[in-house]
Copies of this chain bind each other. A is one copy, B any other.
Amino acid sequence: MNGAQSLLRTLVDAGVEVCFSNPGTSEMHFVAALDSVPEMRGVLALFEGAVTGAADGYARIAGKPAATLLHLGPGLANGMANLHNARRAHTPVVNVVGDHATYHKQYDAPLESDIEGLARTLNGWYRESAKTAEVGADAADAVAASQDAPGRIATLVLPADVSWGEGGVAAAPVAPRAPKTVAASTIDAIAEVVRSGEPVAFLIGGKGCHEAGLLAVSRISAATGAKAFIETFPARLERGAGLPSIDRLGYLAEQAMYQLDGIKHLVLAGAKPPVSFFAYPGKPSELTPADAKVHVLAAIDEDIPAALEALASAVAADTEPVLQQANRPALPSGPLTPQNWVEVIGALLPEHAIIADESNTSGLLLPAATAGAPRHDHLTLTGGAIGYGIPVATGAAVAAPGRPVISLQADGSALYTISALWTQARENLDVTTVILNNRAYAILKMELQRVGAEGAGPRALELLDLSRPDLDFVKIAEGMGVPATRATTAEELAEQFERALREPGPHLIDAWVPPLF
């Protein structure tokens, strides 16, 4: 057994069954080993940003990590932006980064670069496998490290000679660090706060956004009158009919400050104190009201659902959660608008759908339109690095073959990782991509005003315009093997969306929705 084979065997034994891959020469023994460890599914992507984004989407849905296979420092670099998003989502990811043979590094060959320096910026787990006999143990440690609560990026560097060397030993799985239990005294103290009669709001993040946490929060709210919000960009929010419907805190600082206005206590469960996404001249960064006290019920590495349930037992023992009733918008008609396209999605969202949401400004009205749709998972852009949507949808579809994946994608960020469409076609994944094509960096046109950039003239606006030339996403998708259509009216969008859901495999709809602003 060579090093690569021991690595793959160890990964599979630890439950890592998918490797999103963009290999090069230094990874050829890993590639060759796929035939001797057939339990590992290799999924090819044509750019590393698609690889790492897919690994993020996979783990958000599967609840366990995928591996990535990346080609030296430049391969890791190309995957960094979506690893940034995964880091912010606390997604477990196991990167395998091929490197030059150990004895070859001294020669500074063209692809040599500072892999460790790059990987360290992810603030996760890092190791270079130094010996073939240790690769298995290193891989077991990497899988465990990626799943240490709350989840993180583990990067294992695999030099080519360590990979091709004989003497590999598969290692048994290693247990990751479980979430810490919140102290009873913390539960008691916060129970006091919510019983105080003063205005309280909860801000829920991490695994608190899954069913158990939401049910507990809803009971607490119903029993005590406390407000509750979901963090602005949750990794995975379970929502829809039959679950409590809890609003997300707004992206715009003004909106968040309105939501939190008047509260005296902010209770955090898996979320951080809310701050403005960007700084704006003359406006505060911190969004918690100045006279409100912040309490931490559960930190991100603690057992958030258990803490919420314990608190619910303390303050809402006899209270039922308030569940969202089934309630869809009517199918709209007429030319597409920022309002009616979300109504189409809300009206037609299938059961058990997964929404990978990178709709940005076009999607501001989406949550209301889908609140009463059938139960679904809503994945959001946790780290703000655009180009996450199409890859994350791809990985989510690999993780959940039976579930329809809806990829809502702004035009301005679609080109970053567009080649993930090809992987969807190759793997015949049930992903329906809707491009919200407003032919502009609409969010930046808004932000140009919000940052008070006076004197912005035609040369500035030119840099935020995507209409010269127009991007034709129908042709781009077809060029990558994904059937595609264009919708300019709500009726067309509805008809095309239904058809896409009905037919197996990926589809893309280029929806010409005018800007909200």
Chain A residues with a Cβ under 8 A of chain B? 21, 23-26, 28-29, 31-36, 38, 42, 44, 46-47, 49, 73-75, 77-78, 80-81, 84, 88, 100-101, 103-104, 107-111, 113-114, 117-118, 120-121, 123, 160-161, 164, 233, 272, 275-279, 281, 285-286, 382-385, 387, 412, 415-416, 418-419, 422, 425-426, 443-444, 447-448, 450-460, 462-464, 466, 468-481
One of B108, B117, B277, B279 near A110 (C-beta < 8 A) = B277
Chain B residue at minimum C-beta to C-beta distance from A232: B110
Residue of B31, B74, B107 near A285 (CB, 8 A) is B107
On chain B, the residues within 8 Å of A107 by CB distance are: 275-276, 285-286
Cβ-defined contact, A35 with B457, below 8 A: yes
Contact B110 A42 (CB under 8 A): no
A23 adjacent to B121 (CB under 8 Å): no
A21 to chain B, nearest CB (A): 6
16 contacts between A and B (CB under 8 A): A25-B277, A25-B451, A26-B278, A28-B451, A31-B460, A32-B456, A34-B457, A78-B80, A108-B275, A109-B275, A110-B277, A111-B278, A160-B278, A418-B419, A422-B471, A476-B480
Contact of A161 among B281, B473, B479 (CB under 8 A): B281
Please determine whether B25 and A444 come into contact, CB atoms closer than 8 angstroms: yes
Residues from chain B with Cβ under 8 Å of A281 in the complex: 161, 164
B78/A81 in contact, CB under 8 A: yes
Task: Check B479 against A471 for contact (C-beta < 8 Å).
Answer: yes
Complex CA distance for A384 and B100, rounded to whole angstroms: 13
Taking CB atoms, residues of chain B closer than 8 Å to A25 are: 277-278, 443-444, 447, 450-451
Q: Determine whether the beta carbon of B110 is less than 8 Å from that of A382.
A: yes
Minimum CB–CB distance from A430 to chain B (whole Å) comes to 16
Instruction: Choose among B383, B443, B478 the residue that contacts A475 (Cβ–Cβ < 8 A).
Output: B478
Q: Is the CB of B117 within 8 A of A28?
A: no
Residues from chain B with Cβ under 8 Å of A468 in the complex:
426
In the assembled complex, the CB of A407 is this many whole angstroms from the nearest CB of chain B, namely 17
Q: When the two chains form their complex, are residues B384 and A74 in contact, meaning their CB atoms are under 8 A apart?
A: yes
Contact B29 A453 (CB under 8 A): yes
Residue pair A42, B459 in contact (C-beta under 8 Å): yes
Chain B residues, Cβ within 8 Å of A100: 278-279
Please measure, in the bound complex, the distance between the C-alpha atom of A481 and the C-alpha atom of B415, giving whole angstroms.
14
Supposing A25-B451, A451-B29 touch, asked if A77 and B77 sit within 8 A by C-beta, the answer is yes
* Interface contact A425-B460, CB-CB below 8 Å: no
Shortest A481–chain B CB gap in Å is 3
Interface pair B103/A279, CB less than 8 Å apart: yes
Q: Are B476 and A481 in contact (CB under 8 A)?
A: no
Contacts A28-B453, A31-B460, A475-B475 aside, 14 further interface pairs with beta carbons under 8 A come to A34-B457, A42-B463, A75-B81, A80-B80, A80-B118, A100-B279, A104-B279, A108-B275, A161-B279, A415-B418, A418-B418, A418-B419, A469-B480, A472-B478
The answer to whether A31 touches B453 (Cβ under 8 A) is yes
What's the Cα separation between A123 and B73 when bound, in Å? 14
With contacts A74-B84, A448-B31, A459-B42 known, is A104 near B474, CB below 8 A? Answer: no
Question: Once the chains bind, are A279 and B471 in contact (CB under 8 Å)?
Answer: no
A386 → B minimal CB distance (Å): 8
A469 touches B425 (CB 8 A): yes
Q: Which B residues touch A74, using CB under 8 A?
A: 80-81, 84, 383-385
Q: B21 near A463 (CB under 8 angstroms)? A: yes
A451 CB to nearest B CB, Å: 5
Contact (Cβ within 8 A) B104 A113: no
Q: What are the 4 tightest A-B residue pairs by CB atom distance, in nearest-first order?
A: A469-B481, A35-B457, A74-B385, A475-B479
Between A278, A456, A466, A480, the greatest number of chain B beta carbons within 10 A of the residue's beta carbon is seen for A278
